[in-house]
Amino acid sequence: GGFPFTLDFLKAGNWGGYNYSYAGNVAAWGGPSVSPFDPTFERYKVSRLEISSTWMDHWLTYFEQNPQEYYISDGDPNRLTAPRLEIAAEN
């Protein structure tokens, strides 16, 4: 599987007489995603971690070896959060 050549039908369309529109699209694979506030973020090509017994071990090891890439938001949609180092780099 993969993304379609054009993302237009992922954004909005009509199927069986029902209109639809989406603010984004999440793939079933692809690895860690960048923050929605990262300039390289593509809202219709959001990757995600696939978790199974094999992949769980892979990603835990990966993030243990690459701690600079591991970050969890506080979950508050009304507050913008970023890793401390990224904030310091912009100041």
Q: What is the pLDDT of residues 75-87, one digit of tens each?
A: 787 887 766 655 5
Does 90 have pLDDT greater than 60?
no
Contacts of 28 (CB under 8 A, 6+ apart): 1, 48, 50
Supply the pLDDT for residue 83: 64
Q: What is the pLDDT of residues 20-67, one digit of tens each?
A: 999 998 888 888 888 787 888 899 999 888 888 888 899 999 999 998
Does 1 have pLDDT greater than 90?
no
Helix (H) or strand (E) holding 87: helix 84-90
Supply the pLDDT for residue 19: 97
